[in-house]
Amino acid sequence: MIERYRDLVVIYENDVAYVISCDSLGAIGNKENDVLKVDEEIVGRTTLKVALSEVLCVGAKPLVISDTLSVEMNPTGQKILKGIKNELEENGLSGVVFTGSTEENFLTSMTGIGITVIAKANIGDLKIKKVKAGMHVSLLGYPRVGSEVLGAKDVLNLSDYIKISNSNKIVEAIPVGSKGIKYEIGILEKISGLKVEANFPQHFDVLKSGGPSTCCLVVHSEEDTASIKGLTDKPLTYVGVLV
């Protein structure tokens, strides 16, 4: 059986699930027409984190990464790939198999990159469709986008997502995408058939983009709040309760 689950494709085969995620980035880098100028290594690290965060949040472990770079290999592609490979090595994921492509037929004046991840999990270990009424919804990290991300201390990194994936206290985890916290809560409600009785802090912009997976909604039992708060050094903010 194959199903679409949030932004993922999940393929079920006997007692194993293969999970596919993807992410793209454009106009960010050091090329002439890039809108936000950043080092190419950051481009690689950031795009990888977003694609990996999706599979990690459902409890799957990455097997294959495909990088489609809409730039030349030398020098831009090499710098992006260096960021990708360093991010994997620093987080104990160097065993992942790589494939990819670059643009060698035409000169490019703007950076573009796509990453696809294929991951695997035992079906019983998947963090999907397990939420229940009475569970709490909290936000780990804080939504940041664009230049705000650079140097921010309250955004999630890849090691945080690995901890989220490995935590048996987190029932479900949803990285906040470009449509913001409110949209992701709506998806959670639709999938679970429950409602989130929300109590947003006044400073929260629930429509703001989460940028490159800078924050993540987590569903957990009330008694596990302290444990989850100690999981990372990023802020944990109560959002509401499922009813």
The CATH number of the domain where 91 resides is what? 3.30.1330.10
Same domain for 145 and 75? no
145-164 mean pLDDT: 93
28-37 mean pLDDT: 96
In the chain, alpha helices (H): 40-57, 78-90, 158-166, 180-192, 225-229
**Domain's final residue, options 102, 125, 148:** 125
Stronger pLDDT, 167 or 204, i.e. the higher one = 167
Reply yes or no on whether the pLDDT at 55 is more than 90: yes
Residue 141: predicted pLDDT: 96
How high is the mean pLDDT of the chain? 96
- Per the structure, the complete domain to which residue 78 belongs is given by 2-125
Same domain for 14 and 120? yes
For residue 124, what is the DSSP state?
Answer: G
Q: Quick one: what percent of the chain has pLDDT higher than 70?
A: 100
For residue 131, being part of any structural domain is answered with no
By residue count, the chain amounts to 243
For 177-229, the pLDDT digits (tens) are 999 999 999 999 999 999 999 998 888 899 999 999 999 999 999 999 999 99
For the beta sheet containing 2-5, the strands, ordered from the edge strand earlier in sequence to the opposite edge, are 2-5, 8-13, 16-26, 112-122, 61-69, 97-101
For residue 191, being part of any structural domain is answered with yes
Q: Which residues pair with 66 in a beta bridge?
A: 99, 116
Q: Which two tokens stand for residue 49?
A: 């984190």
In 58-192, alpha helices (H): 78-90, 158-166, 180-192
> Measured in whole angstroms, how far is the alpha carbon of residue 65 from the centre of its chain?
14
∠ CA 214-194-208, nearest 5°, is 25
80-94 mean pLDDT: 96
How many structural domains compose the chain? 2
Question: Which of 108-117, 120-129, 156-165, 194-203 has the lowest average pLDDT?
Answer: 194-203
Q: How far is CA 5 from CA 58, 74, 191, 239, in A?
A: 10, 37, 9, 22
Residue 150: predicted pLDDT: 84
Same domain for 97 and 74? yes
Instruction: Give the amino acid at 198.
Output: A
